[in-house]
Structure 1
Amino acid sequence: MPMAASHAASAVPPVDEALMRETIRTLSSDEYEGRGPGTAAEPKTLDAIIARFKAAGLQPGNKGQDGKPTWLQDVPTATITATNRSPLTITGGAQSATVTSMTFKPSTEFVAGSYRITPHTEVKDSELVFVGYGINAPELGWNDYAGIDMHGKTAVILVNDPDYAMEGENGLFRGRRMTYYGRWTYKFEEAARQGATGALIIHDTFPAAYGWQVVESSWSGAQHFVQTANDGADQTGANGWIQKPVAEAILKAAGKDLAALTAAAQAKGFKPVPLGLKASLSFDNTIEKANSHNVVGLLPGKTRPDEYVLYSAHWDHLGRCKPDATGDDICNGAVDNATGVAALAALAKMNAAAGGTARSQVFLAVTLEESGLLGSEYYAQNPVFPLAKTVGGVNMDALAVGGPAKDITVTGGDKSELTTILRKVEGEMGLSESPEEHPERGHYYRSDHFSFAKRGVPMFDVARGTDLVVGGKAAGQAASDDYTNVRYHQPSDQYQESWDISGMVQDVKLFYRLGRELADSSVWPNWHPNDEFRAIRDKSLAEAKGK
């Protein structure tokens, strides 16, 4: 890959710290009530972001139905709440014994929901098939669905990747570092692509990286989705999780052993195993439809305006939430993610002041990140600017309070040719690179950049490290622990005038240079060979060149 155009540190415009403070202070004030999408606070939030984009010199990035420029993109959503949940009933028999019926309780032993917008969900006498890790990765020569027609059947799936237990990252699926194939979202998506009626993931705490209580609480309430033209008809009828002891009991009834099948599924060439059992479950769905908005700003390119570099940050937070000991029930979201929007505003002003780049730059403030990345997902499904012409981008989520650091961390590790630009810029800024903590937890797949990445667009997800210039790793870790344990998703995530934001300024300078290098270059970064997103990027680039 050719080296990107150089952009010396001396050419970086100053970061408007006053603008950043004012943006964080405003968006995280009680007046904005935690920036809940669809609440009375949404119009205020949108107006505040648009005002800052206008002041920076951006243009409206979208067009309305009347063809006139607009700052907003509608994001239609559906919320589905399952009620009247039946038990999970297993019937059938193994060669060695006959099983009349086994039933498992909702919530405590299994959970299930539907991606389909329908008032009632029923899976009746669906044949169970153990499909290992439920992965179809042609670039790796791996297909857990080889040789079986899944129509009418329910897939029983292991969580994570086949080589998750490795200490390093040298496995076919990057060992301890989770790939997208290990994420539960992928497993449900692939089961749907295979035509399955249902999909049940076997919960196991270590490879899942969280206990059953997380699964139970996450799936017991309302589920949020982007509305689609077919109301999710192309998805499985029901998706869910089962406790590991439940899976062991089901497989035993089929004359199988979970441990033995798990070991077999970790080797290339594994074939799906029909279990000779049938599953039934049902529940009703209460459906609510709503509309929120993304904000889209544009700084047109000077020589290649039909090529785009993206800066993104989510504007939403939790709104009103569980009260703390003082009775405060507003989750203000100062760090998460008023800081990201403040960085977006500062970057817009810096880039406009420096003059347009060769490529166009898009500044995207997305909604409903806290509800499952829905704003970015909707944009990626319905891009204002074609994803095949989107070169790459930088996502910003929850910039840490405190001073500058000596290091940065890269979520997801070295996945794409964006690393060439990153290593160049971090070297010029005198920064080192520290390993990501807990790569097995798959954090790369849990923020808005992922909505673009899974459709082939390489995205930076870079954060300031914890080795601070003042105080070192001890101070950095203490600050990180304080935020995670005391403020994250709590009413205490509030702006304070005493904040040291010099570290955020360092972040913005880094983000500016990464985006600017990409926007002034002629490179088209791709994912590394055998990365899970390489094939879709190759396809989109080939289609773009063919037009």
Structure 2
Amino acid sequence: MSLARARLLVTLLASLWLAACARAPIEVAPDPVQSDIAARLKADIDVLASDQFAGRKPGTPGAKATFEYIERRMGEVGLVSGTNDPGSYWRLAVDLVEAVPQTGQLTLGVGRRAVTLTEAEAAVYTPRRRALAAGGPGTGVPVVFVGYGDGSVLGDALAGAAALMLADPGRDRTRREALFRQRATAVVTVVPDAEALATVRRNAERGRVELASEQMDTLSAYITDAALGRVLGEKRWEQWKREALKADFAPLELNLAVTIEATSDRREFPSQNIIGMIPGNVPGSGAVLLLGHWDHLGECGPPEAADRICNGAADNASGIAMMLELARRLKAGPPLGRDIYVLATSAEEAGLLGARAFVKTPPLPLASIVAAFNFDMMAVAPEGSPVGIIGRGHTPALDAAILEVLARKGRLIGDQSLADSFLQRQDGWALHQAGVPSVLLSSTYGSRAILDPFLLSRYHRPDDDAAQIELGGTIEDLLLHEDLIRQLADPERYPPAAAPQP
């Protein structure tokens, strides 16, 4: 064979080999570690998001099944009790109250004329089973117009009075609470129109769950601007509103009779936070807290729907599953210097209530927690997604540790404005307000392109089920947390912040 023919044959064989490779790409074997993690995560999510748990609403049989399951899994993972209470191994009590409005009526009077407002003009609510208040001339109870203020300039003089305030969106709830703290017997809020009143009614009539320790004894009424003007007289009412806009406005006692009454279906019931721990081997060096909420909404689909159960697979069976798997890996690895506490909170969906209960009666000093990591809606993003950092910018040392681990792992940082918008909407906020360095790290919150489709299609809907979860980003985020928490749990690698100087 000539040299030229030999070269041609070699070239032909090489071309055939390359073509075969192009037709049949080499398959990369899956990472067995990640496969095992995915299987364990999926197993926990499948159980917690099953119809058997009925949406994990506090105060239901599904809730009881949920915290019993978490207790069993904490034991299997190798955790010990984190309650520091020999009488309660896993459980921290969260006492709740739910009030669902039943009836309400508002009657106003000027002189001898009394007008009972219609449902299109007014609404009245109380958390009590029945509440009644009367104020105005001849009652000994003044009716005070506070305009856009909160009555604080009156101090104790507001005690026992009925307050009338103008709506100021974004501030109204805070102002009402301030008036009730000054022992106002009732607060009447003037809303702009019937549409605004309908919004109040829609929000209020779903009922409200509160911590029993935080519930205020309130009687709240809402009336449309037009209805109040009709009763008072348009000229008088317009004058009072103009007065309220002045910088030197002072609350006015009105010659207005007010009778307010309401009833509600009130239910008091216990729930539970579940807490375990991995003891560290350096006593007195502080703790790292992992937390995620176990609750969801129960049945929240339309009454006519075939499937009404909101299973909450991503929100937040995924957070509990991730926290349990992370705790398992931390427990199975090298010893840790600091204690690791693992907290499953109740009633997050009702307003971070379980986290707030934890802050009120913590089983360890809050000042000893060097960092808290929240796990919420963790199974949404695919592998390779950028990481959102909720809580960034509040604790420089913690930020630095997070950024160092992200860089070492080659993870990209996502849209910070998106992450910031969720700061007050997750359990870490309750800890942050109590001075505990708290963050939520997740690829779920790194990109609107990832988060928005979930929020628009599955969030708080029956479609958030186990079949829809995405574990690619979850596993990456889990391994990120493991690396970071091992660093923070080492007192030499992450010393506690210096105590403030007197």
Task: State if a TM-score over 0.5 links the two structures.
Answer: yes
2:466 corresponds in structure 1 to: 495
1:196 corresponds in structure 2 to: 184
Displacement of 1:337 in angstroms is: 0.8
Query: Which digits, 9 at most, give the CA deviation of each residue in 1:396-442, with x for residues without a partner?
Result: 22124231355334446644545444444444443224233497xx7
Displacement of 1:85 in angstroms is: 0.7
1:227 corresponds in structure 2 to: 212
Contact 2:391/2:439 (8 A) holds in 1: no
Q: Give identity over the alignment, percent.
A: 22
2:49 to 28, 43, 46: 28
Contact 2:308/2:462 (8 A) holds in 1: yes
Q: Output aligned runs, 1:500-515, within 5 Å.
A: 500-513=470-483, 515=485
Contact 1:410/1:436 (8 A) holds in 2: no
1:4 corresponds in structure 2 to: none
Query: Which digits, 9 at most, give the CA deviation of each residue in 1:443-494, with x for residues without a partner?
Result: 4333322333333334214442576xxxxx6xx62x5343222222222111
Change (3 A) 1:23 1:122: same
Query: Which digits, 9 at most, give the CA deviation of each residue in 1:92-117, with x for residues without a partner?
Result: 6xxxxx895565445x44444335xx
Displacement of 1:393 in angstroms is: 1.1
> What TM-score results when the alignment is normalised by the length of structure 1?
0.70
Change (3 A) 1:333 1:105: same
Cα distance in 1 between the residues matched to 2:482 and 2:290: 9
Q: Which is greater in Rg?
A: 2
Displacement of 1:296 in angstroms is: 0.6
2:134 to 124, 129, 139: 124
Q: Output aligned runs, 1:346-361, within 5 Å.
A: 346-361=325-340
Displacement of 1:147 in angstroms is: 5.2
Cα distance in 2 between the residues matched to 1:127 and 1:350: 62
2:495 corresponds in structure 1 to: 522
Displacement of 1:522 in angstroms is: 2.9
Change (3 A) 1:396 1:109: farther
1:480 to 425, 432, 451: 451
- The structure that is helix-richer by fraction is 2
Q: Which has the higher contact order (CA 8 A, sep 6+)?
A: 1
Unaligned runs of 5+ in 2: 1-32, 136-141
Unaligned runs of 5+ in 1: 1-12, 93-97, 135-143, 162-181, 265-269, 468-472, 526-540
2:272 to 275, 278, 293: 293
Counterpart code for 2:460: H
**Structure 1 residue matching 2:183: 3-state secondary structure:** coil
Cα distance in 1 between the residues matched to 2:415 and 2:374: 19
Q: Output aligned runs, 1:126-525, within 5 Å.
A: 126-130=142-146, 132=148, 134=150, 145-146=152-153, 148=155, 149-153=157-161, 154=163, 156=165, 158-159=167-168, 182=171, 186-200=174-188, 213-228=198-213, 232=215, 235-239=216-220, 253-256=236-239, 258=241, 261=244, 264=247, 273-274=251-252, 276=254, 279-305=258-284, 307-323=286-302, 327-404=306-383, 406-411=385-390, 414-417=393-396, 418-429=398-409, 430-437=411-418, 443-464=422-443, 477=449, 479-496=450-467, 499-513=469-483, 515-520=485-490, 521-524=494-497
Contact 2:41/2:325 (8 A) holds in 1: yes
Displacement of 1:275 in angstroms is: 5.7
Displacement of 1:191 in angstroms is: 3.1
Counterpart code for 2:37: D
> What TM-score results when the alignment is normalised by the length of structure 2?
0.76
Change (3 A) 1:451 1:37: same
Counterpart code for 2:434: R
Contact 2:316/2:376 (8 A) holds in 1: yes
The size of the alignment, in residue pairs, is 452
Cα distance in 2 between the residues matched to 1:217 and 1:186: 20
Counterpart code for 1:436: S
Contact 1:159/1:201 (8 A) holds in 2: no
**Structure 2 residue matching 1:436: 3-state secondary structure:** helix
Counterpart code for 1:335: A
Displacement of 1:343 in angstroms is: 1.5
Displacement of 1:517 in angstroms is: 4.7
**Structure 2 residue matching 1:122: 3-state secondary structure:** strand
Counterpart code for 1:150: L
1:139 corresponds in structure 2 to: none
Cα distance in 1 between the residues matched to 2:192 and 2:395: 30
Displacement of 1:339 in angstroms is: 0.8
1:56 corresponds in structure 2 to: 77
Q: Does 1:113 align with 2:121?
A: no
Change (3 A) 1:304 1:200: farther
Displacement of 1:345 in angstroms is: 0.7
Cα distance in 2 between the residues matched to 1:99 and 1:404: 72
Greater alpha carbon shift after TM alignment, 17-26 vs 415-424: 415-424
Q: Output aligned runs, 1:527-538, within 5 Å.
A: none
Change (3 A) 1:262 1:513: farther
Displacement of 1:340 in angstroms is: 1.0
Displacement of 1:502 in angstroms is: 1.0
Query: Which digits, 9 at most, give the CA deviation of each residue in 1:64-91, with x for residues without a partner?
Result: 5xx345111222222223322112x445
Displacement of 1:389 in angstroms is: 3.4
Counterpart code for 2:125: G
Cα distance in 1 between the residues matched to 2:77 and 2:482: 15
